C-alpha cells in the first residue's frame, strides 16, 4: 500500500566506487589486443568532418568495421540532432539552438488514432459474466474507499455532460495505487461495485441504443444532459447481476452498431469530475472474474463479428508491412522501434538496439503525478547478450589503456553519447548526474564548430549506443585476470536414466557436441575447459588428463561435506584430452548398466561443481541431467510436498516458494563463484521443481523439462535443446548496473538473477536469451528538454577469460502530455513486465488478488487514456490507444497461463516451470508465449519463400478441411482437420487417410514432394529460430490430445478457466466506463 517506493525520494545516489565486490587495484592493465579505439588521441587524426576513417586497426579477431554509412557523417547521427539532445549548460555555442523539442509539437495535436467500438457488445457479453461473478454476494464496502464512489449512486443525474477533452484536468493525487501493480494487496481501492444500485435504476426496458448509432466518433449524441436518465441513473455497475435483456441487433458493422446494450451507461454522463478514486484495485468487484470457468461458461457468444475486435495478427502484419525489411536507425531519442515480430535491421547511431533494450514507453511522464495518474509501468527489458543478425555490426571493443574506461567521477557512469563536452573539450558534463569532469589528458580532443569532438565518429563510446570496454585488473576478482570458464557435465546414472537410454544418448552426443564449444571470434579452438561427473547417491569424478590411457574414476560417498577429490586432470581442454574423454563417454553407459540404484542426491552435485570452480579459480556452467526428486540422505534432500488441495487457497503460493536453507545458501555460493547451473530434468512424477530450479533461476541458468522421457519420442527434442544450450554465446561471473539520469531510477529487477543489494544485478552467467526486466520510479520531475538517459553496464568474463564491460545506452523522451506517453507505449514490453511482476506476486499473494490487480490496472490505464487523450465520444464506445489496442488480448492470455490458473488439473511442477522460465524471458519470447503463431498450411504456396500469414488463435479460425501449425516457443502442434484432403495426408505422411495416422508421431517423415518439403522446412525454420526446442505434437481434430492444442487458442475461453478475449474486452470496457463516471 505504501507508496514509499514510489514517492519517497531518497537522496539521489548512484555513486559506487567500483562494481560490487571488485576492489580497486594495483598495477597496469594487461596489454590487451583490443586497442584500436584506445590509446593516444593522436591516433585519431581524421578531419572533423568529411570522410570517416574506418575505425578499425589490424587487430585480428576484431569485429569487422562498420559499413561506411554507419559512420557517414552525412547520415543523420544522433549528434546531428542537437535539438533532440540536451543543450550543454555552458559554452559550446554550436549546440546553442534551443532544444526545440520536436516531440512537443507532435504532442497534443490530432487525437491519437483510437480503436473505437460501440458499447453494445459489452452489454451483451456482460450477460455471460453476469451468470457468475455478477451474482456473487456484493462486496463489502471498503471504508477506505474514495469519496467519489461512495457518493456514487446517480451522481451525475441531470448534470450536463462534460466529455473529457484531451487536456482535461489532472486527477487529484489521491491515487491509492502505487505505480507497481502487484506489490500491494488490493485493499486501498475505492469500492465501486456497490451493491445497492443493482438493477433498480436499470429496470427499464433497454433504451434504444439509437443514440449511439452513429459512427464511432459521434460522441455528440451524449453531449447533452443525460436523456432518459431515469433508466440510466445507476452507475455502470448497476448492471451487476442483471443480464442485459435482448438479443444483439442485427449487426451491420460490428461494434459500431447500436444495440440494447447501449442502454446501460449510455446516457450516463461522463464527468470530468472526481477521477482520483479510480486507481485502486477494487477488491470485490471483479469478484470471481477471471478464475472460474464454470461461471463463464454461459451460453455461446452472441454472434458478434470477431473480426471487429482488435487483432494481434493484424497488428503484426501491419507493422511488418510498414517497417519490415527497413533499417531502424537509433539516432532519434524516444523513437519507438518496430515490433519484435517485425523483420528489420538495426543501425546503431547512438542508442542501443531494441534487441538489447526495449521499453514499456519511450516517453516517460515528467512528473510523479502524471505517472501515477496513468499507471503505465515504466520499465526496460534488457537482453545484454542478445544475438544479432549477421547483417548487423557486432559490438566494438574499446580499450582506454591502463586507466580503464573513462567514467564520471561522481556517479561512475561510463563514457557514452550522453556526456557533453564543454570548455573547448577539456571537460565534460555527465548526462546522468550533471557533474562536470575533467577530460584526462590522453583522452583530450578538440571540438568542432558543432561543439562535437572531432573524433566523434571514431570512438564508439561517443557515437554508438552499445560497445564494450576492456576491463582493467580493478574489475577482476582479487585483481587477477580470470581463467577461462569451464563446463562440467554431471549425469545422473540412477536406474531410470540408464533404463530409458538417456545416459547413453547424452554420452554419444557429447562426443560430437564438445567439438562445437563456443570460442572467441578468430580463436582456433574453444578456451572452455570441460569436466565430467556421474552420480546417484554418491558422486564419481573422472580424471581425463590427456596423458592418461584410460580415464580414472574417483568416488566420493560422503556427500555431507562435498569436496573434489582431484584437481589436476578434472577440468581439461577437450581437444587435448579428446581420446581419454571419448573413452570415458563410451564406458559410462556400460559401467552403470546393471545399476539398481534409484535414489539420487542433488545439492552435493552442485556443491561439487562450485568446489571444482573454486579450486580452478574459474567461473563456468554445470549441465546437470537429472531424473527424480533427490531423496537420498544428503543435504538438500526433498520430500513430496505437492498438494492439490492448496490450489485456489491462500496457501497456494507455498507451491511456488522454494525450500529455503541449503538451497538458498547454495545460490549465493554459486553466484559468488560465477557458477551457472543448467538443469535438464527427466521426471516421471513430481520432483518439487520449485525447489530444484531455485539455483538455476538465480544463477542465469535454464531449466529444461522432459516429462516421461523416451528416447524415441523425446530424444531429438532434448538434443536440440542441449546443442543450443552448449553453443550459446554467453558471459560469466557477471554483474550489471543500471544507471539513470536524475529524476528517476531503477527500483525493481526481474530475471534469473541474484541481488545482494538494491543496485547490483548479479548473474553467475548471462546468455543470449536471458533478459532482465528493470522497473523505474520517479524521484523527481523529469525535463522534457534533456529527456531521460539509461545506461546499462555489464561487467563479465568472456568465454576466453577476458574481463570486459558491455555498455548499452538508451535515451528516452520525457513528456507532460499523456497522449504522447500513450503513443510511445510498447504493448509487447508492457506485457513482459506484467507477466514477470504477476509471476513474482503469486509468491506472496493469492492468485485471485493478482488477477484482480491485473484487470484493474488494465482498465485504469485504458480509462486514463480515454479520459485524457481520446476525443470526446460516447462513453459506450471502447476507445483504445493505438499502441495498446491489443494489450487486452495479451493480458487476458497472461491470466490464462498455467501459473495464474488455479486448476488442480495442472501439474504443480509444470506451473512452477513456466513461472520460472518467463522470469528470464525477453520481449520476443513473452510475446510469442502469450500469443502463439497459428499458421494455416492447407493452402500453402509450395513455391513461395514466405511463411503463410498466421491467423488469430481461435477455434473459429480452424476448418475441418484445414491443417494448421501452432507454436509458442515451447510447444508445437500440427493440427489436422477431420476432413483433411487425402492428398495432403498422402503428401505429408505417406498415408492413405487420416485414420491411418498412428499416435505419438513426433516428426514428419522425409518425403520428397513439394508439400512435405515445404512443411518440414517451415517447421525446421521455426525450430532453428527459437531459443528452445519444441516437440512436434500431431493432433487430429476431435481426438483427445486435441485438448492440449486447444489451450493455446488464447482468444477462446480457457480450458482451465479464464475468459475469452471477447468477454474479457467487454469486461474491461465496463470497468473503464465505470472509472470514467
Please name the helix (run of DSSP H) or strand (run of DSSP E) that holds residue 129, with its range, or none.
Answer: helix 120-131
Choice between 403 and 990, CB closer to Zn ion: 403
For residue 1011, state whether it binds Zn ion (rule: CB under 5 A).
no
Among 103, 432, 456, 489, binds Zn ion (CB under 5 A): 432
What does the DSSP 8-state code read for residue 434?
-
DSSP assignment of 140-176, as one string? Answer: PPPTT--HHHHT-SSTTTTPPP-PPPTTPPPPPS---
Choice between 14 and 1047, CB closer to Zn ion: 14
Q: Kindly report the three-state secondary structure assignment for every residue of 687-717.
A: CCHHHHCCCHHHCCCCEEECCCCCHHHHHHH
Task: Give the three cell numbers for residue 86.
Answer: 540536451
Query: In the complex, what is the shortest distance from the CB of residue 740 to Zn ion, in angstroms, rounded to a whole number?
Result: 11
Query: In the complex, what is the shortest distance from the CB of residue 742 to Zn ion, in angstroms, rounded to a whole number?
Result: 9
3-state secondary structure of 94: helix
Query: In the complex, what is the shortest distance from the CB of residue 349 to Zn ion, in angstroms, rounded to a whole number?
Result: 23
Query: In the complex, what is the shortest distance from the CB of residue 407 to Zn ion, in angstroms, rounded to a whole number?
Result: 8
Cβ(887)–Cβ(827) below 8 Å: yes
CB neighbour list of residue 953: distance below 8 Å, 6 or more residues apart: 931, 932, 934, 966, 1048, 1049, 1050, 1051, 1052
For residue 255, state whether it binds Zn ion (rule: CB under 5 A).
no
3-state secondary structure of 821: helix
- Annotate each residue in 225-244 with x if it binds Zn ion (CB under 5 A) or - if it does not, as one string: --------------------
Closest by Cα among 617, 676, 349, 700 to 487 = 676
Query: In the complex, what is the shortest distance from the CB of residue 164 to Zn ion, in angstroms, rounded to a whole number?
Result: 41
**Sequence-ordered alpha helix ranges (H) in 514-597:** 574-591
Query: In the complex, what is the shortest distance from the CB of residue 410 to Zn ion, in angstroms, rounded to a whole number?
Result: 5
Choice between 433 and 1062, CB closer to Zn ion: 433
Give the whole-angstrom CA distance, residue 118 versus residue 926.
31
Which of these segments, 144-152, 254-262, 412-420, 566-574, binds Zn ion (CB under 5 A)? 412-420
Any idea how long the chain is? 1077
Give the whole-angstrom CA distance, residue 1065 versus residue 292.
17
Which of these segments, 423-431, 524-532, 876-884, 949-957, binds Zn ion (CB under 5 A)? 423-431
Choice between 340 and 413, CB closer to Zn ion: 413
3-state secondary structure of 352: coil
Query: In the complex, what is the shortest distance from the CB of residue 94 to Zn ion, in angstroms, rounded to a whole number?
Result: 23
Q: How many CA atoms lie within 13 A of 809 on its CB side?
A: 32
From first CA to last CA, the distance across the chain in angstroms is 24
For residue 793, state whether it binds Zn ion (rule: CB under 5 A).
no
Choice between 626 and 739, CB closer to Zn ion: 739
Which of these segments, 295-303, 434-442, 592-600, 872-880, binds Zn ion (CB under 5 A)? 434-442
Which of these segments, 231-239, 409-417, 707-715, 960-968, binds Zn ion (CB under 5 A)? 409-417
Give the whole-angstrom CA distance, residue 588 versus residue 599.
18
Closest by Cα among 398, 407, 395 to 348 = 395
Query: In the complex, what is the shortest distance from the CB of residue 444 to Zn ion, in angstroms, rounded to a whole number?
Result: 19
Query: In the complex, what is the shortest distance from the CB of residue 409 to Zn ion, in angstroms, rounded to a whole number?
Result: 7
C-alpha distances out from residue 443 to 272, 435, 472, 481, 621, Å: 57, 18, 17, 25, 38
Choice between 237 and 430, CB closer to Zn ion: 430
Pairing assessment for the beta strands 572-573 and 529-535 based on DSSP bridges: antiparallel
Query: In the complex, what is the shortest distance from the CB of residue 759 to Zn ion, in angstroms, rounded to a whole number?
Result: 15
Which of these segments, 27-35, 433-441, 636-644, 999-1007, binds Zn ion (CB under 5 A)? 433-441
For residue 208, state whether it binds Zn ion (rule: CB under 5 A).
no
Which of these segments, 194-202, 426-434, 761-769, 821-829, binds Zn ion (CB under 5 A)? 426-434
Choice between 70 and 789, CB closer to Zn ion: 789
What does the DSSP 8-state code read for residue 653?
G
Choice between 238 and 419, CB closer to Zn ion: 419
Choice between 413 and 976, CB closer to Zn ion: 413
Please name the helix (run of DSSP H) or strand (run of DSSP E) that holds residue 192, with its range, or none.
Answer: none
CB neighbour list of residue 74: distance below 8 Å, 6 or more residues apart: none
Residue 960's Cβ-count burial label (10 Å; 0-12, 13-18, 19+) is exposed
Choice between 779 and 826, CB closer to Zn ion: 779
Q: Taken in order 18, 23, 27, 33, is the CA torsion positive or negative?
A: negative
Give the whole-angstrom CA distance, residue 363 versus residue 824.
6
Choice between 430 and 502, CB closer to Zn ion: 430
Put residue 314 in one of left, alpha, beta given phi > 0 → left and psi -120 to 50 → alpha.
alpha
Give the whole-angstrom CA distance, residue 344 versus residue 338.
8
Among 185, 208, 435, 991, binds Zn ion (CB under 5 A): 435
Closest by Cα among 114, 9, 115, 751 to 371 = 9
For residue 433, state whether it binds Zn ion (rule: CB under 5 A).
yes
CA angle 61, 64, 70 (to 5 degrees): 155
CB neighbour list of residue 317: distance below 8 Å, 6 or more residues apart: 949
C-alpha distances out from residue 911 to 58, 647, 845, 1053, 1055, Å: 52, 12, 16, 19, 15
For residue 411, state whether it binds Zn ion (rule: CB under 5 A).
yes
Query: In the complex, what is the shortest distance from the CB of residue 437 to Zn ion, in angstroms, rounded to a whole number?
Result: 8
Query: In the complex, what is the shortest distance from the CB of residue 453 to Zn ion, in angstroms, rounded to a whole number?
Result: 18
User: 73 to 112, contacts with Zn ion by CB under 5 A?
Assistant: none
Give the whole-angstrom CA distance, residue 667 versus residue 670.
5
Query: In the complex, what is the shortest distance from the CB of residue 201 to Zn ion, in angstroms, rounded to a whole number?
Result: 60
Choice between 36 and 407, CB closer to Zn ion: 407
Query: In the complex, what is the shortest distance from the CB of residue 875 to Zn ion, in angstroms, rounded to a whole number?
Result: 48
Query: In the complex, what is the shortest distance from the CB of residue 745 to Zn ion, in angstroms, rounded to a whole number?
Result: 13
Choice between 415 and 764, CB closer to Zn ion: 415
Choice between 12 and 686, CB closer to Zn ion: 12
Among 107, 130, 175, 430, binds Zn ion (CB under 5 A): 430
- Annotate each residue in 365-404 with x if it binds Zn ion (CB under 5 A) or - if it does not, as one string: ----------------------------------------
Which of these segments, 192-200, 408-416, 478-486, 825-833, binds Zn ion (CB under 5 A)? 408-416
Choice between 75 and 436, CB closer to Zn ion: 436
Query: In the complex, what is the shortest distance from the CB of residue 433 to Zn ion, in angstroms, rounded to a whole number?
Result: 3
Which of these segments, 78-86, 114-122, 424-432, 1049-1057, binds Zn ion (CB under 5 A)? 424-432
Please name the helix (run of DSSP H) or strand (run of DSSP E) that holds residue 772, with its range, or none.
Answer: strand 772-778
Choice between 413 and 869, CB closer to Zn ion: 413
User: How many residues line the site for Zn ion (CB under 5 A)?
Assistant: 8
Query: In the complex, what is the shortest distance from the CB of residue 371 to Zn ion, in angstroms, rounded to a whole number?
Result: 24
Which of these segments, 58-66, 425-433, 488-496, 596-604, binds Zn ion (CB under 5 A)? 425-433
Question: What are the strands, taking DSSP E only, across 878-943?
Answer: 878-881, 933-936
Which of these segments, 171-179, 239-247, 430-438, 551-559, binds Zn ion (CB under 5 A)? 430-438
| Adjacent-strand bridge partners of 117 | 878
Please name the helix (run of DSSP H) or strand (run of DSSP E) that holds residue 379, with its range, or none.
Answer: strand 379-382
Which of these segments, 54-62, 84-92, 411-419, 955-963, binds Zn ion (CB under 5 A)? 411-419
Query: In the complex, what is the shortest distance from the CB of residue 14 to Zn ion, in angstroms, rounded to a whole number?
Result: 8
Put residue 1013 in one of left, alpha, beta given phi > 0 → left and psi -120 to 50 → alpha.
alpha
For residue 408, state whether it binds Zn ion (rule: CB under 5 A).
yes
Residues that bind Zn ion (CB under 5 A): 408, 410-411, 413, 430, 432-433, 435
Amino acid at each position: 500500500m505504501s507508496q514509499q517506493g514510489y514517492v519517497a525520494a531518497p537522496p539521489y545516489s548512484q555513486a559506487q566506487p567500483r562494481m560490487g565486490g571488485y576492489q580497486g587495484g594495483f598495477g597496469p592493465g594487461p596489454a590487451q589486443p583490443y586497442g584500436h579505439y584506445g590509446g593516444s588521441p593522436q591516433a585519431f587524426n581524421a578531419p572533423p568532418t568529411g570522410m570517416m576513417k574506418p575505425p578499425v586497426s589490424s587487430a585480428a579477431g576484431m569485429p569487422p568495421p562498420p559499413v561506411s554509412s554507419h559512420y557517414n557523417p552525412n547520415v543523420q547521427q544522433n549528434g546531428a540532432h542537437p535539438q533532440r539532445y540536451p543543450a550543454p549548460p555552458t559554452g559550446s555555442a554550436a549546440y546553442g539552438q534551443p532544444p526545440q523539442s520536436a516531440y512537443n509539437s507532435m504532442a497534443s495535436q490530432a487525437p491519437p488514432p483510437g480503436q473505437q467500438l460501440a458499447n453494445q457488445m459489452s452489454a451483451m457479453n456482460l450477460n455471460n459474466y453476469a451468470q457468475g461473478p455478477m451474482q456473487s454476494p456484493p462486496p463489502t464496502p471498503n471504508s477506505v474507499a474514495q469519496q467519489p464512489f461512495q457518493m456514487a449512486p446517480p451522481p451525475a443525474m441531470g448534470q450536463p455532460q462534460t466529455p473529457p477533452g484531451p487536456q482535461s484536468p489532472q486527477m487529484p493525487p489521491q491515487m491509492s495505487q502505487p505505480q507497481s501493480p502487484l506489490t500491494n494487496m488490493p485493499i486501498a481501492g475505492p469500492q465501486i461495485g456497490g451493491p445497492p444500485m443493482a438493477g433498480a435504476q436499470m429496470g427499464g426496458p433497454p433504451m434504444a441504443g439509437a443514440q449511439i448509432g452513429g459512427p464511432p466518433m459521434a460522441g455528440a449524441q451524449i453531449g447533452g444532459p443525460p436523456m432518459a436518465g431515469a433508466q440510466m441513473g445507476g452507475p455502470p455497475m448497476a448492471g451487476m447481476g442483471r443480464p442485459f435483456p435482448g438479443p444483439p441487433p442485427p449487426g451491420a458493422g460490428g461494434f459500431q452498431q447500436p444495440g440494447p446494450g447501449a442502454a446501460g451507461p449510455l446516457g450516463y454522463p461522463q464527468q470530468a469530475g472526481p477521477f482520483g478514486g479510480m486507481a485502486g484495485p477494487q477488491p470485490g468487484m471483479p469478484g470471481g472474474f477471471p478464475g472460474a470457468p464454470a461461471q463463464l461458461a454461459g451460453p455461446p457468444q452472441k454472434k458478434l463479428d470477431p473480426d471487429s475486435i482488435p487483432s494481434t495478427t493484424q497488428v503484426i502484419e501491419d507493422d511488418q508491412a510498414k517497417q519490415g525489411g527497413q533499417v531502424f536507425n537509433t539516432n532519434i531519442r524516444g523513437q519507438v522501434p518496430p515490433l519484435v515480430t517485425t523483420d528489420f535491421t538495426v543501425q546503431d547511431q547512438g542508442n542501443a538496439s531494441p534487441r538489447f533494450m526495449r521499453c514499456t514507453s519511450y516517453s516517460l511522464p515528467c512528473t510523479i503525478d502524471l505517472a501515477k495518474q496513468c499507471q503505465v509501468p515504466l520499465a526496460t527489458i534488457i537482453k545484454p547478450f542478445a544475438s544479432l543478425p549477421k547483417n548487423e555490426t557486432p559490438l566494438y571493443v574499446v580499450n582506454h589503456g591502463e586507466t580503464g574506461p573513462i567514467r564520471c567521477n561522481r556517479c561512475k557512469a561510463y563514457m557514452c553519447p550522453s556526456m557533453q563536452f564543454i570548455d573547448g573539450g577539456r571537460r565534460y558534463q555527465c548526462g546522468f548526474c550533471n557533474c562536470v569532469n575533467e577530460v584526462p589528458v590522453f583522452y583530450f580532443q578538440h571540438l568542432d564548430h558543432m561543439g562535437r569532438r572531432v573524433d566523434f565518429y571514431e570512438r564508439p563510446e561517443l557515437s554508438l549506443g552499445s560497445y564494450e570496454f576492456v576491463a582493467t585488473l580493478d574489475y577482476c576478482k582479487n585483481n587477477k585476470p580470470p581463467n577461462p570458464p569451464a563446463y562440467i557435465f554431471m549425469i545422473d546414472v540412477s536406474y531410470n536414466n540408464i533404463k530409458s537410454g538417456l545416459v547413453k544418448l547424452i554420452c554419444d552426443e557429447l562426443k560430437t557436441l564438445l567439438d562445437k564449444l563456443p570460442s572467441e571470434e578468430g580463436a582456433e579452438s574453444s578456451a572452455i575447459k570441460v569436466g565430467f561427473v556421474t552420480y546417484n547417491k554418491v558422486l564419481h569424478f573422472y580424471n581425463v588428463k590427456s596423458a592418461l590411457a584410460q580415464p580414472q574414476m574417483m568416488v566420493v560417498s560422503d556427500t555431507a561435506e562435498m569436496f573434489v577429490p582431484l584437481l589436476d586432470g578434472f577440468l581439461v581442454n577437450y581437444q587435448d584430452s579428446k581420446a581419454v574423454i571419448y573413452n570415458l563417454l563410451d564406458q559410462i553407459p556400460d559401467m552403470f548398466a546393471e545399476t539398481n540404484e534409484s535414489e539420487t542426491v542433488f545439492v552435493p552435485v552442485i556443491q561439487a561443481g562450485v568446489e571444482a570452480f573454486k579450486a580452478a579459480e574459474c567461473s563456468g556452467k554445470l549441465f546437470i541431467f537429472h531424473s527424480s526428486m533427490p531423496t537420498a540422505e544428503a543435504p538438500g534432500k526433498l520430500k513430496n510436498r505437492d498438494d492439490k488441495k492448496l490450489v485456489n487457497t491462500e496457501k497456494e503460493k507455498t507451491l511456488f516458494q522454494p525450500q529455503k536453507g541449503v538451497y538458498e545458501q547454495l545460490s549465493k555460493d554459486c553466484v559468488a563463484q560465477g557458477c551457472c547451473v543448467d538443469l535438464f530434468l527427466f521426471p516421471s512424477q513430481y520432483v518439487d521443481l520449485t525447489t530444484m530450479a531455485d539455483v538455476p533461476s538465480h544463477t542465469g541458468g535454464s531449466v529444461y523439462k522432459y516429462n516421461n522421457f523416451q528416447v524415441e519420442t523425446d530424444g531429438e527434442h532434448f538434443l536440440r535443446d542441449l546443442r543450443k544450450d552448449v553453443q550459446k554465446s554467453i558471459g560469466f561471473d557477471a554483474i550489471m548496473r543500471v544507471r539513470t539520469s536524475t529524476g528517476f531510477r531503477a527500483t525493481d529487477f526481474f530475471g534469473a538473477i541474484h541481488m545482494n543489494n538494491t543496485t547490483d544485478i548479479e548473474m553467475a552467467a548471462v546468455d543470449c536469451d536471458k533478459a532482465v526486466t528493470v522497473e523505474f520510479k520517479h524521484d523527481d520531475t523529469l525535463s522534457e528538454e534533456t529527456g531521460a538517459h539509461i545506461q546499462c553496464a555489464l561487467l563479465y568474463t568472456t568465454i576466453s577469460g577476458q574481463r570486459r564491460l558491455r555498455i548499452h545506452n538508451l535515451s528516452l523522451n520525457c513528456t507532460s502530455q499523456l497522449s504522447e506517453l500513450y503513443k510511445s507505449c510498447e504493448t509487447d514490453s508492457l506485457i513482459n513486465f506484467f507477466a514477470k511482476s504477476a509471476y513474482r506476486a503469486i509468491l506472496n499473494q493469492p492468485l485471485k488478488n493478482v488477477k484482480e490487480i491485473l484487470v484493474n490496472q488494465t482498465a485504469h490505464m485504458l480509462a486514463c487514456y480515454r479520459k485524457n487523450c481520446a476525443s470526446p465520444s460516447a462513453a459506450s464506445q471502447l476507445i483504445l490507444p493505438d499502441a495498446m489496442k491489443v494489450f487486452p488480448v495479451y493480458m487476458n492470455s497472461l491470466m490464462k497461463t498455467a501459473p495464474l490458473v488455479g486448476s488442480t488439473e495442472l501439474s504443480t511442477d509444470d506451473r512452477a516451470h513456466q513461472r520460472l522460465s518467463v522470469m528470464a524471458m525477453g520481449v520476443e519470447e513473452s510475446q510469442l508465449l502469450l500469443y502463439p503463431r497459428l499458421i494455416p498450411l492447407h493452402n500453402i504456396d509450395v513455391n513461395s519463400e514466405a511463411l503463410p500469414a498466421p491467423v488469430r488463435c481461435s477455434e473459429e479460425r480452424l476448418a475441418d478441411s484445414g491443417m494448421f501449425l501452432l507454436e509458442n516457443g515451447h510447444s508445437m502442434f500440427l493440427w489436422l482437420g477431420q476432413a483433411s484432403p487425402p492428398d495432403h495426408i498422402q503428401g505429408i505422411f505417406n498415408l492413405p487417410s487420416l485414420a491411418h495416422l498412428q499416435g505419438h508421431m513426433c516428426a514428419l517423415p522425409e518425403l520428397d514432394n513439394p508439400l512435405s518439403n515445404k512443411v518440414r522446412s517451415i517447421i525446421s525454420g521455426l525450430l532453428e529460430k527459437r531459443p528452445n526446442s519444441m516437440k512436434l505434437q500431431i493432433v487430429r481434430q476431435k481426438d483427445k490430445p486435441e485438448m492440449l492444442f486447444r489451450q493455446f487458442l488464447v482468444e477462446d475461453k480457457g480450458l482451465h478457466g479464464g475468459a475469452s478475449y471477447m468477454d474479457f474486452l467487454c469486461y474491461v470496457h465496463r470497468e473503464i466506463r465505470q472509472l470514467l463516471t
